[in-house]
Structure 1
Amino acid sequence: MTFLTAMDPQTGFVDRSAAHKIGLEHREAYNAGEPFPHIMIDDFLPPEIIAKCLEHFHHGGGEAASYSRPQEKQKHEYRPDEMHPELRQLFYSFNSLPFIKVLENITGIEGLIPDPYFRGAGFHEIRNGGHLSVHADFNHHVSMNLERRINLLIYLNEDWKPEYGGQLELWANDMSKCHHSIVPMINRAVIFNTTSFSNHGNPNPVNHPDGISRKSIALYYYTSTWDETKRSHTTQFRARPKTEDKIDWAVKGRELAADLIPPIIQRGLRSLKAKKSN
């Protein structure tokens, strides 16, 4: 049975009155999740919506970014604003009040704010041989000065088996244990709190026998709780024990420099860099 029965299967719009109570039954389980609050919900969207996503996945969605480095290989992202009109409509619905109300019901976090810029969000694809190392996400939406709070991932992989790789792993803060390994099956949603310690990723390389890629919808939500006492950081990659996982030391170096160098000197260096680039 479809979880989000209040979503119109043709438009993707969510009925506001029906959304008022959807998800409340999951709040206790969500907040009891280990190693951080999370929940997995199967049959999340109407099947007609999933069919549209698969039909238009590679049509008209200009590639926003491609990644190929030790921490993330064969990863591709597609912007919602460049997708097929039916999919643009769907993503705008994901940013609507009724849909956000469902997420607030599940998580217990009030005042969630969508991202009209879809920074890092949209369709994600990892092709055969690719992976995304375990990491904690960036925590500060700089242009809106908001704190990142929630990740929502919805998978689009038909007949996906564990041996095809690409499982979503949820790791302990100290990287001592993988608490969950979630197969990215079609129409399976995973929602979780985003903090500096919510370590997750799909480090097992995608290995589909027919070369089919791992596909997903990625959505991020924020609150207006950012303040000057919090330390802004970009994606923080973690190394699993007894593996060859690589930490991004260039990022670590920049963050250390930002902590140690006085702000007045940092501004001077940025000014000098800007003059050289002109």
Structure 2
Amino acid sequence: MNRTEYANIILHRISDKKEEIKKQYNSSKNEIGYFWIDDLLPEDLALEISQVFPKKEDMVLKKSLKEDKYIAVQMNQYHSDLEEIIYAFQDERIVYLIAEICEIKQPIPDTSLYAGGLSMMGNSQFLQPHLDNSHDAKRELWRVLNLLYYVTPNWKEEYGGNLEIWPNGLKNDQITIFSKFNRLAVMATHNNSLHSVSPVVYDGFRKCVSNYYFSKEPLRKTDTFHVTSFRGRPEQKVLDQFLQVDNALRMGVRKIFKKGIVENSHIYKK
């Protein structure tokens, strides 16, 4: 399968569900807009993507107090189907259809896969509540949508590794979006798009294909520049204070060095 063939199938599926997912997004857009669509691809194709996912030894481990996960972004090192499915979501027809559903102006797919690509989480791995970096690597475009396509067959919600969004902050309950096999979840990214991934509590790996869309305009007029900003979970009071200090320090650095001090390695260098 090449990216155009994948895109044709995805486009048809989203088009069929357009009105349904538009209602879902509209009902949530005043807080953190989101929608999901199940059975995105024929099951056999989704299984093939899962089967060619790289092993953890062939991915990059990102482990800290903020996150614990495996990532892969240098796509020419992996099975060609993985690059094709990632870039299928960047097909112009799909980009503009999703942008229309979410009322995004001037959508721009992220060809460099800045913070996108592949991710995988195993037992005890997690992603703390956080706001994504507001911009692209060059700090020229605004990040506006996060697309997550889950490809682990037989994954159960109780295994963890689910997307959590916190529309009313950490003092209120989160909304859990199950990382169900063959499900595409789309989430708006702006200054209030606090989200996390629940810790995995199962001896297996939750696999995800991720993309971001950018725009020349922020999603909300009130949006401002920010680095990726992590928080502790509601019960992690001390960690939360530490992470807020860390966020402030990194923001201070970016006020002086607009593009940061160290080059971000999470970019596909073709």
How would you bin the TM-score normalised by the shorter chain? 0.7 to 0.9
Q: Is the 8 A contact 1:38 1:190 kept in 2?
A: yes
Q: Secondary structure at the match of 1:100?
A: helix
Q: Is the 8 A contact 1:11 1:90 kept in 2?
A: no
Which of 14, 38, 45 matches 2:34?
A: 38
User: CA 1:130 to 1:19, structure 2 compared with 1: closer, same or farther past 3 Å?
Assistant: closer
Which of 223, 227, 231 matches 1:234?
A: 227
Q: Does 1:212 align with 2:212?
A: no
Matched residues, number: 250
User: CA 1:21 to 1:135, structure 2 compared with 1: closer, same or farther past 3 Å?
Assistant: same
* TM-score, normalised with respect to structure 1: 0.78
Q: Identity percentage over the alignment?
A: 25
Higher CA-based Rg: 1
2-side partners of 1:253 and 1:173: how far apart?
25
Q: Does 1:134 align with 2:134?
A: no
User: CA 1:81 to 1:197, structure 2 compared with 1: closer, same or farther past 3 Å?
Assistant: farther
Q: Is the 8 A contact 1:19 1:102 kept in 2?
A: no
Considering Cα pairs closer than 8 Å and 6+ residues apart, tell me whether 1 or 2 has the greater RCO.
2
User: CA 1:143 to 1:100, structure 2 compared with 1: closer, same or farther past 3 Å?
Assistant: same
Deviation of 1:132 after TM superposition, in Å, equals 0.5
Deviation of 1:18 after TM superposition, in Å, equals 5.7
Which of 170, 189, 200 matches 2:195?
A: 200
Q: Does 1:66 align with 2:58?
A: no
How well do the aligned residues superpose, as a CA RMSD in angstroms?
A: 3.1
| 2:265 alignment counterpart | none
Which of 143, 151, 157 matches 2:138?
A: 143
Q: Structure 1: which amino acid aligns with 2:77?
A: E
Q: Is the 8 A contact 2:121 2:200 kept in 1?
A: yes
2-side partners of 1:10 and 1:59: how far apart?
26
Q: Does 1:255 align with 2:251?
A: yes
Misfit runs of 4+, over 4 Å: 7-10, 15-23, 59-62
* TM-score, normalised with respect to structure 2: 0.80
Q: Structure 2: which amino acid aligns with 1:44?
A: L
1:99-145 superposed Cα distances (whole Å, 9 cap, x missing partner): 21231232121321011101111111112111101111001113261
Which of 185, 191, 215 matches 1:190?
A: 185
| 1:102 alignment counterpart | 97
